[in-house]
């Protein structure tokens, strides 16, 4: 099993870091192929293990998937869906697999989908997905760990009211509504850029959608969707992760393809912490203040608030900040599992329920640590950049689900980092 070895104190970082297409967007866009018999082509696709899992799932249903340009272009054709069961052996690997449910049900009126798996960061139930589909006339039964769904005569437009702004549920219902008979209104919809990206793709396929990016989305169902080519939006979480790197080392990096509108609330906290962020034609350039990093309080919230997927990385930075910071996690329970690993490296962190209090230390020390989930894994790598000696991050299969070639990208700007095989 691979590990990532980081040697701290290599000096300031300098140079460009290319930011990939968004994992969370691509995993949502791929199931959209099930809505049409004509090809869907995605460009700027990230090259990640989760994309391979999604490919395996679609191929198991009958979709033909062709990977081109070293995986950056995916051409998918679902002209012959010959299987409507998403099997547990594939779905258990990745929570986003539940997103095949709405498209298959909308297109063919039936689907059987295993309850999903993914990172161990909380329950993340799929009940909102199911309630939304029921509001559109679906008949659902949970049996032996699978959702058995039917819609005799097809889905019908309806009003879907979410208890909270679930990204996954919004995506599933949005896709299903494109082929439903009549008008569907989604209230308390998620507003994330990945939702807007999905809506843009669906419109390119012929869908009629209004209000994406707001809390109310309206979809007028159409009889069929056609072919389209769509570029996957920049990954705002990878972007935010690499924007933090100079905070640990000093120096200046430019995150190619970065956009302020994707990370507004995050950038506000970086400014308060003493980082300078500027937007230019090439992306976002970040450098640390000469006085170092200052403490700052953070509360995770749905977009456009501070993203939960950047909380672990932010905590790592605040471990070396001047002062005491309070991080409040309001999206997922059990998402401070990286804290004990950072403490192994000398951090001063106290966790109580959904709140972590971090008091900055003068220095951290390299240690063997274990990645507990995707974002936790990269937070430990960032911490290793500032730690004395060598940090060995184990169980990096989590990392490979969401970051392509992290050792190459950081190594290219001056970090001393390598991947080793046991």
Query: What is the reported pLDDT for 125?
Result: 67
What the block records as the tokens of 204 is: 């390119």
Q: Is 319 a catalytic residue?
A: no
- Domains of the chain plus CATH, in order, are 2-20+234-421 (3.65.10.10), 23-231 (3.65.10.10)
Of 119, 201, 255, 319, the catalytic one is 119
Buried b (16+ CB within 10 A) or exposed e, 110-139: bbbbbbbebbebeeeebebbbbbbebbbbe
CB atoms within 10 A of CB 187: 12
Q: Mean pLDDT of residues grouped by 10 in the chain (422 residues)?
A: 94 97 96 98 95 96 97 97 94 88 98 72 70 97 92 96 94 98 98 98 98 98 98 98 97 97 98 97 95 96 95 98 97 88 98 97 96 91 98 92 94 98 82
Query: What is the reported pLDDT for 117?
Result: 54
Q: What are phi and psi of 199, to 5 degrees?
A: -60, -40
Query: What is the reported pLDDT for 94?
Result: 84
3-state secondary structure of 293: coil
Reported pTM: 0.93
Query: What is the reported pLDDT for 145?
Result: 87
């Amino acid at each position: 099993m691979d590990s990532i070895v980081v040697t701290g104190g290599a000096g300031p970082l300098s140079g460009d870091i290319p930011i990939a297409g968004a994992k969370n967007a691509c995993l949502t866009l791929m199931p959209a192929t099930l809505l049409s018999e004509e090809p869907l082509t995605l460009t700027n696709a990230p090259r990640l293990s989760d994309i391979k899992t999604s490919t395996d799932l679609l191929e198991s249903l009958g979709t033909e998937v062709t990977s081109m340009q070293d995986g950056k272009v995916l051409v998918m054709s679902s002209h012959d869906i010959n299987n409507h069961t998403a099997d547990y052996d594939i779905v258990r690997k990745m929570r986003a697999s539940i997103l095949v449910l709405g498209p298959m049900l909308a297109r063919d009126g039936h689907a059987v989908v295993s309850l999903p798996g993914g990172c161990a960061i909380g329950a993340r139930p799929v009940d909102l997905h199911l309630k939304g589909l029921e509001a559109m006339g679906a008949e659902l039964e949970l049996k032996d760990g699978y959702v058995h769904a039917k819609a005799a005569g097809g889905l019908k437009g309806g009003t879907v009211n979410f208890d909270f702004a679930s990204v996954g549920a919004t995506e599933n219902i949005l896709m299903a509504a494109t082929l439903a008979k009549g008008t569907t209104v989604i209230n308390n919809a998620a507003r994330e850029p990945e939702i807007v990206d999905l809506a843009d793709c669906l419109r390119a396929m012929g869908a009629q959608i209004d209000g994406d990016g707001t809390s109310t989305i309206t979809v007028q169902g159409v009889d069929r969707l056609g072919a389209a080519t769509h570029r996957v939006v920049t990954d705002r979480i990878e972007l935010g992760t690499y924007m933090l790197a100079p905070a640990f080392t000093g120096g200046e990096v430019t995150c190619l393809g970065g956009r302020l509108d994707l990370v507004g609330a995050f950038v506000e906290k970086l400014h308060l912490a003493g980082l300078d962020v500027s937007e230019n034609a090439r992306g976002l350039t970040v450098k640390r203040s000469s006085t170092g990093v200052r403490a700052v309080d953070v509360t995770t919230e749905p977009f456009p608030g501070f993203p939960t997927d950047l909380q672990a990385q932010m905590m790592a930075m605040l471990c070396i900040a001047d002062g005491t910071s309070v991080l409040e996690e309001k999206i997922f329970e059990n998402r401070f599992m990286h804290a004990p690993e950072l403490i192994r490296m000398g951090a001063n962190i106290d966790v109580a329920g959904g709140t972590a209090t971090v008091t900055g230390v003068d220095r951290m020390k390299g240690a063997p640590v274990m990645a507990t989930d995707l974002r936790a894994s990269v937070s430990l790598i960032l911490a290793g950049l500032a730690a004395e000696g060598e940090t060995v991050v184990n169980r990096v299969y989590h990392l490979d689900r969401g970051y392509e070639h992290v050792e190459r990208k950081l190594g290219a700007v001056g970090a001393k980092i390598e991947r080793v095989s046991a």
